[in-house]
Structure 1
Amino acid sequence: MTPGRRVEPLILGLAIASILGAFLTALGSLEEALTEHWLVIAAFVAAIAIGDVFRVQMPSGRVMTPVATSSAIGLAVLGPVEGEAPFDVPAGVVLIIVAAASGVGLGLCRLFGRPVDWTAGAVRTIGVGITAALMRNLPLADGGPWAWQLNPDKPRWLIAVIMLGVAAAGLYVDLVLTGLVRAQRRSMPMRRALAEELGEAQSLTLGLLAAGPLVALLAPIVGLAGLPLGLLPVVLTHIAVRRFVTNRETYRQTIATLSRLTEVAGYTPTGHAARVASLSVGIGRAMDLPSAEVEDLEYAALLHDLGQVGLRSPIPEGATVLAAPDDQRRIASEGATIVRRTEVLDRVADLMERQTMPFRHVREWGEEIPVPSRIIKVANAFDDFSHGSTDPDAVAAALERINLGLGYEYDPEVVDALIRSIPAQP
């Protein structure tokens, strides 16, 4: 099940309503805070805005802003600051400051020509607002956890644990809302989107949980210097993740370049491998495959025709679906052999090798054919039959040809997912 198309407007509306409510209830406190804490506010606004500019895009496409989020959490739990007055402001003031800082950051992104995602800023504002409210309003003795920071008799470890707890509450609201948005944008099942969101972001989540409270715990000792010191582990992690993502993108580009070898040599039509890969990924997501399997599926689909480079003469229009079964198996086997020589794509090679096996082998003989291999078979047949055209008549003709082999050559569940995926394809 995918969420309705109103998820993003609802999140934006909730963020705007929260900001307006904060203005109405904390306007007097905001003026006082800007006068008394202008230096602290300026430092955190700068950190959030700069963190928005220096973002990192994960392999799945998820954009993360760990420095900005950590800074916002630090502001939400901040208490005493060496050399400054204690940051004793209502949660509404924190929410307004974070929203304003996010607006500045997104404005800088637009200035530098980078994509602007207002929904991401709204999600962060909501999450940090929850953290700030819990920090100030938890029904505990002696004024609650924020006031405990000013009480030397309260154990520091207990305050740190509470900071981690309220930070986690806001962060996981952030992750869930981001997962809902992702499910809507990518037409993914909501359960899968949430699972991937919690799984992929988990590596940075623990760092974000620690960084915000660390800033607040350092501030009474080193003042505003606690902001860069507390963020240093997140910055180093950010740099490492960026390098990882860059390496993965280079890896994918290398595979994409290799997939065009058959096109350059004249064995397959231009764009065939890319179209089959794009359609295969759409089908995989519609079938709720895990992200790791979708990634292998994409690589295998990009390289599915690689074995054609060993042919003495090209297949007409490169349409392997029209070749004899023995020729199809030989092409798949040759391609898998080439890929296995890399010694890092064995799983992809296995998917490629089994892509030509008819579905009846599963039904009649109980053979094991991986679902990604079944997907590639259907996606390749669709592109061969439609000749890569998105014309409604060509699409209908391709589906009709596939339906003739339904349950015999092609997995009915995969074909159903193909039909659901076609409208989402460019």
Structure 2
Amino acid sequence: MSAMRFSGLAVLVVSATITTLSLLLVVFAHEISWHLLPQILLFVVLIVIAADLMVRDPAGGTISSATTLFYVAIYVFNPITTLFTVALGYGIGNALPRNWVTWRVLFNAAQMGISAFVGALVYRVLGGNISAGFGPWILPALLGPITHHLLNNFFVAAFLSQSVQLPFFRTWVAFVREFLWSNLLTIPTAVLIGLLYVRVHPVSLLLFLVSLPFQRLAIKVYLGQRETHLRIIESLVKTTELGLPGTKGHSRRVADLSIAIARELGLSEREVEIIEYAALLHDVGMIGFDDMLASGEAYSRVDYVLEDHAVIGAELASGLPRPEISEIVRFHHKMASSLERMPRKRSLARTGCVIVAVAEEVDSRIFGLFPYREPQSQDMVLEYIIKHRGRLFDAAVVDAFLRVASRKDSLLPSIEDHAASFQVG
């Protein structure tokens, strides 16, 4: 496997983050609460355990319960002690897997430590004092973790925007929205543990271990439900494609290209996931048109087939938990300029429609799938997409698609790939 290469700016982001952590620790080392070393070590051990028990998210990244401990540290330590504790614990936790990479461990430790440091600063500046009564520190107890959340995602978005050429601001906003509610819901638990830590005994921190298995189980159950949905959808798609000769892999290719475009636009992974489901299901309504396609009748009634298969597909997808999936399937053949009339016109549903529309048009033309009879070259397809930018196809989506298509590792299929898929032996 070839080594991953990053742009100079991506390397700069990583280097600057690690250097900032180092400078903060050197300059303010005398302010670390060394007299609280036993408590610091207890935090570090628990953060290591929580980090080591991170659950891999199939949609990308990881989900961890360590955030609760970061917030407790913000409440009970001064800022530089918070930085030292969080960076050390998270760094060790990230270094435990056998396949750990030095720069990634250092960057993760640095960005998480700095985020906690600034969160603790905000908490202190606003008068946060968990030993005081409830009233004076409720606002600081909320804004400290929110600051950590914003800055943590800032670092991640800054790196991704330079390493894989994603738009920085939209990526940052997408990440902030993605995990905001889950992190906000973590705050009450962090406050409770912090109160017990300060007012009862520091060993109360061990209560975190009691909740850890339940938190991890809840995360796994949630991710398991998503994987089950995906397996059911893929089975339905395969059943549909069996009755439509020449379409094998079409839905998966459209989904992969839709995912790439959505990420290029800076959508969150949850939004990308919904668009993936819709892209996989976009042609499921064709299951009743196999005879018309086989006889060629469908080519003389293109508008009827395109409209009806979208309606049928939307009905089949309506049982899924997110209504946007059904809406994307229903309207994915509509011109971008006509989607202002669709429900929730500024919602994810409209964004998904215009993304899937481009992805399907590209794949159908390159592979010569209905309503086209013959494959077209990539140059012809690109020319058509560009020509109709802003009318048939959303301008921002076309621009994102062109950026995706221009990369060496582009998901854009080729005529040669199509021919190879029919070779035998």
Gaps of 5+ in 2: 1-6, 369-375, 412-425
Q: Give the C-alpha shift of residue 120 in structure 1.
A: 3.3
Which residue identity is paired with 2:289?
A: L
TM-score by length of 1: 0.72
Per-residue deviation, residues 7-61 of structure 1 (Å, max 9, x unmatched): 56425522333234413542x676x93xx54432332111111111222456853
Q: 1:128 aligns with which of 116, 119, 133?
A: 116
Q: Could you say what secondary structure the match of 1:6 adopts?
A: helix
Determine if contact 2:60/2:269 at 8 Å carries over to the other structure.
Answer: no
Hey, what does 1:372 align to over in structure 2?
352
Query: Where does the alignment leave 5 or more consecutive residues of structure 1 unmatched?
Result: 80-89
CA distance in 1, matches of 2:67, 2:391: 52
Corresponding residue number in structure 2 for 1:96: 84
Provide, for residues 404-424 of structure 1, a one-character-per-residue CA deviation record: whole Å limited to 9, x for no partner: 666775555543332223246
2:45 corresponds in structure 1 to 46
Give distance in 2, aligned partners of 1:409 and 1:91.
53
Please say if residues 28 and 80 of structure 2, whose CA atoms lie closer than 8 Å, have aligned partners that are also in contact. yes
**Could you tell me the percent identity over the aligned residues?**
22
Distance 1:156 1:358 in 2: 55
> Which position in structure 1 is the counterpart of 2:202?
224
SS in 1 for 2:96: helix
Output the amino acid matched with 1:224.
P
Which of 254, 258, 278 does residue 232 from structure 2 map onto?
254
The answer for the alignment partner of 1:304 in structure 2 is 282
From the CA coordinates, give the structure whose radius of gyration is larger.
Answer: 1
What is the number of equivalent residue pairs in this alignment? 387
Query: What residue is the counterpart of 2:96 in the other structure?
Result: 108
Alignment of 1:95-244 (within 5 A): 95-110=83-98, 118-133=106-121, 138=125, 149=131, 155=133, 157-158=135-136, 162-184=140-162, 187-229=165-207, 236-237=214-215, 239-244=217-222
What pairs up with 1:275-294 in 2 under 5 angstroms?
Answer: 275-286=253-264, 294=272
Matched, 1:6 2:4: no
Deviation at 1:194, TM superposition (A): 2.9
Partner of 2:221: helix, strand, or coil? helix
Aligned equivalents of 1:104 and 1:321: distance in 2?
Answer: 62
**Normalised by the size of structure 2, how large is the TM-score?**
0.72
> What are the Cα deviations for residues 305-345 of structure 1, in whole angstroms up to 9, with x where unaligned?
223332345858x9x999834333344344334434x3656
Partner in structure 1 of residue 66 of structure 2: 68
The aligned residue for residue 16 of structure 1 is 19
Superposition map of 1:382-397 within 5 A: 382-387=362-367, 394-397=377-380
Alpha carbons of 1:309 and 1:76: their partners in 2 closer, same or farther (altered >3 Å)?
A: closer
- The residue type equivalent to 2:255 in the other structure is A
Gap change, CA 1:230 and 1:339, over 3 Å in 2: closer
Of structures 1 and 2, the one with the larger relative CO (CA 8 A, separation 6+) is 1
* Conservation of the 8 A alpha-carbon contact between 1:339 and 1:345: no
The question of whether the paired residues in 2 share the 8 Å contact of 1:22 and 1:93 is answered with no
Question: Match for 1:381 among 350, 357, 361?
Answer: 361
C-alpha change, 1:134 and 1:286, in structure 2 (3 Å) is: closer
What is the identity, as a one-letter code, of the residue corresponding to 2:254?
V
Q: Which secondary structure does the structure 2 equivalent of 1:14 belong to?
A: helix
Question: Structure 1's 306 and 223: CA in aligned 2 closer, same or farther, altered over 3 A?
Answer: same
Over aligned residue pairs, what C-alpha RMSD do you find?
A: 4.3
Deviation at 1:196, TM superposition (A): 2.5
Q: Residue 423 of structure 2 aligns with which residue? A: none
Checking the alignment, whether the CA contact within 8 Å between 1:77 and 1:131 is kept in structure 2 is no
With over 3 angstroms needed to count, the CA separation of the structure-2 counterparts of 1:293 and 1:17, relative to structure 1, is closer
Partners of 1:266 and 1:314 within 8 A in 2 = no
1:417 partnered with 2:400: yes
Which amino acid in 2 is paired with 1:262? T
Q: Which is further off, 246-255 or 280-289?
A: 280-289
Q: Is the 8 A contact 1:307 1:331 kept in 2?
A: yes
Q: Give the conservation status (yes or no) of the 8 Å contact 1:385–1:401.
A: no
Quick check: 1:127–1:171 contact (8 Å CA) kept in 2? yes
